């Protein structure tokens, strides 16, 4: 039977013919994934034509396609670049994003390494459950907890009062905003983010550790010379992916923590887009800022991926 099918397959000399033969042969599998492909196409690709709004003088009555082109074409980008909020918005976004990346990236790795070295399985499961749980708490609840803990009568000021400090206005102090935001994100996500590293460590061969123990390697040396090299490709890939969101701080948490007194440090690109698009109905400017944001993210990802590929063997492509 196998030999009888070979002549028919060999006649398909071009890649296009072989591709469509494969599709026809495995049509059940393609039919199975068709709904997912359709959903991704409708929700992710069809709306892309809306990017043209950044280059048009949008009219709600005329619609996106019938609206006239802007003259000059990049006037909305120029308005944003020359506006008084450009430096504040971009500076806050980059600072918070880099702060979050530098401060938060090592913690899931360290947690996974510590859990992997824990011999008490019950204690390990307890720590896993405690650190995973905050990931499932709503952002609204998290911000409510921050408001309770760091208000003038909150537990943070109560504890500071015991040593003669305070009360401090954490929630209305602009300089405190990035710290509250970033460390609340780290606290909420560190456990869930460590799952992938823990999964990689579970695949490390026990024979490597047994051989290292026979050679007299300490636990720290085994972590440094066995566990970390196995984690290195995963760390690089996740770092490249995180660099693709260098300009994406998020919206819900920032917007809920934002107030008039901390606006100089809390106004980021996502909240700025919401205000100019939804509140001020300047949709062209909001779209232009979004395009600028995504272009920077793409450029950062390509640059970090190029650096990783040039100086190592691991990269996305």
pLDDT of residue 8: 52
Domain count, the chain: 2
* pTM for this prediction: 0.83
The yes-or-no verdict on residue 255 having pLDDT over 90 is yes
Yes or no: say if 301 and 244 are a contact pair by the CB < 8 Å rule: yes
The yes-or-no verdict on residue 138 having pLDDT over 60 is yes
Yes or no: say if 103 and 180 are a contact pair by the CB < 8 Å rule: no
pLDDT of residue 42: 92
In a domain, 202, yes or no: yes
Average pLDDT rounded to a whole number, residues 250-266: 91
Q: Looking at the structure, tell me whether residues 278 and 191 fall in a common domain.
A: yes
The yes-or-no verdict on residue 7 having pLDDT over 80 is no
Tens of pLDDT, residue by residue over 280-317, are 889 999 999 999 999 999 999 999 889 888 887 778 78
Show the domain range for 23. Answer: 2-66
Q: Looking at the structure, tell me whether residues 158 and 295 fall in a common domain.
A: yes
Q: Looking at the structure, tell me whether residues 121 and 33 fall in a common domain.
A: no
The yes-or-no verdict on residue 88 having pLDDT over 90 is yes
The yes-or-no verdict on residue 10 having pLDDT over 70 is no
Q: Looking at the structure, tell me whether residues 86 and 228 fall in a common domain.
A: yes
Q: Which of 27, 42, 66 corresponds to the end of one domain?
A: 66
Q: Looking at the structure, tell me whether residues 158 and 135 fall in a common domain.
A: yes
The yes-or-no verdict on residue 80 having pLDDT over 90 is yes
In a domain, 316, yes or no: no
Tens of pLDDT, residue by residue over 177-217, are 999 999 999 999 999 999 999 999 988 888 888 898 888 88
CATH number at residue 235: 1.10.3720.10
Encode burial over 55-89: b for 16+ CB neighbours within 10 A, e otherwise: bbebeeeeebeebeebeeeeebbeebeeeeeeebb
Q: Looking at the structure, tell me whether residues 176 and 247 fall in a common domain.
A: yes
Average pLDDT rounded to a whole number, residues 87-91: 93
Tens of pLDDT, residue by residue over 18-54, are 888 888 888 888 899 999 999 999 998 888 888 889 9
pLDDT of residue 11: 59
pLDDT of residue 289: 93
Q: Looking at the structure, tell me whether residues 52 and 149 fall in a common domain.
A: no
pLDDT of residue 248: 85
Tens of pLDDT, residue by residue over 140-187, are 999 999 999 998 888 988 898 888 887 888 888 899 999 999 999 999
pLDDT of residue 13: 64
Question: What is the average pLDDT value for the chain, to the nearest integer?
Answer: 88
Phi, psi of 173 (to 5 degrees): -95, 120
pLDDT of residue 2: 47
């Amino acid at each position: 039977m196998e030999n009888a099918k070979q002549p028919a397959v060999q006649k398909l000399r071009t890649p296009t013919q072989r591709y469509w033969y494969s599709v026809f042969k495995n049509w059940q599998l393609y039919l199975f994934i068709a709904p997912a492909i359709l959903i991704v196409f409708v929700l992710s690709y069809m709306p892309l034509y809306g990017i043209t709004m950044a280059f048009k003088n949008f009219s709600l009555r005329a619609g996106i396609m019938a609206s006239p082109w802007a003259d000059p074409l990049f006037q909305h980008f120029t308005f944003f670049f020359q506006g008084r909020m450009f430096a504040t918005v971009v500076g806050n976004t980059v600072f918070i994003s880099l702060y979050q990346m530098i401060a938060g990236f090592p913690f899931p790795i360290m947690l996974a390494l510590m859990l992997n070295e824990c011999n008490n399985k019950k204690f390990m499961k307890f720590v896993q459950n405690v650190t995973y749980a905050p990931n499932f708490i709503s952002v609204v609840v998290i911000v409510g907890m921050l408001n309770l803990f760091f208000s003038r009568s909150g537990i943070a000021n109560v504890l500071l009062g015991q040593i003669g400090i305070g009360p401090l206005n954490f929630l209305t102090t602009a300089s405190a905003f990035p710290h509250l935001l970033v460390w609340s994100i780290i606290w909420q996500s560190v456990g869930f983010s460590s799952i992938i590293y823990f999964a990689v460590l579970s695949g490390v061969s026990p024979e490597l550790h047994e051989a290292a123990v026979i050679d007299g390697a300490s636990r720290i040396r085994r972590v440094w010379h066995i566990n970390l090299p196995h984690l290195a490709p995963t760390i690089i890939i996740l770092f490249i992916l995180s660099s693709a969101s260098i300009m994406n701080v998020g919206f819900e948490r920032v917007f809920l923590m934002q107030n008039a007194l901390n606006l100089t440090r809390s106004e980021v690109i996502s909240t700025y887009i919401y205000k100019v698009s939804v509140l001020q109905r300047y949709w062209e400017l909001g779209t232009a800022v979004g395009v600028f944001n995504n272009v920077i993210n793409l450029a950062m990802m390509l640059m970090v991926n190029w650096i990783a590929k040039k100086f190592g063997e691991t990269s996305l492509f």
